[in-house]
Amino acid sequence: MAFNATLETSDDIAKITLSGELDASTASELKAKVEEAAAQNPKSLVLMMADLEYMASAGLRVLIFAKQKMGAVNIYIVGAQKDTVLETIIKTGFHHSVILLDEYDAAKIGKA
């Protein structure tokens, strides 16, 4: 499945919805969306990952880039698939740097 990343912003929240496979050949697309989101100075970055089927180490590097680029902004990872994407995030310890949510709830974003 082809990779896709779309950015929406509202109420100081930048939300990037990811689908498909995030690997070395597609990581630059996500990096561009992160840079676009960072330029808008949001208070929270939400990564919607329910439709992300696979994430290689290149994708993880972009998540680390997002954390570094956006500084004190809370990063939420929503709906990551347990056997593929979430496992990679947990095994690398990156789950300590983000907030994991099963479902998107705008009321909870920014409250953590």
pLDDT band at 83 (very low <50, low <70, confident <90, very high): confident
Q: What confidence tens digit (pLDDT) does each residue in 5-47 have?
A: 999 998 899 999 999 999 999 999 999 999 999 999 999 999 9
Give this prediction's pTM: 0.93
| 10: exposed, middle or buried (Cβ count in 10 Å: 0-12, 13-18, 19+) | exposed
- Cα distance between residue 73 and residue 75, in whole Å: 6
Mean residue pLDDT across the chain:
92
pLDDT at 111: 58
User: Cα–Cα distance between 72 and 91 in angstroms, integer?
Assistant: 23
Q: Which residues contact 107 (CB under 8 A, 6 or more apart)?
A: none
Length of the chain: 112
The per-residue b/e assignment along 82-98, b for 16 or more CB within 10 angstroms, e otherwise, is: eeebbebbeeeebeeeb
| Biggest CA pair distance of the chain | 35
Range list of H helices, 6-106: 27-38, 57-70, 87-91
pLDDT for 110: 63
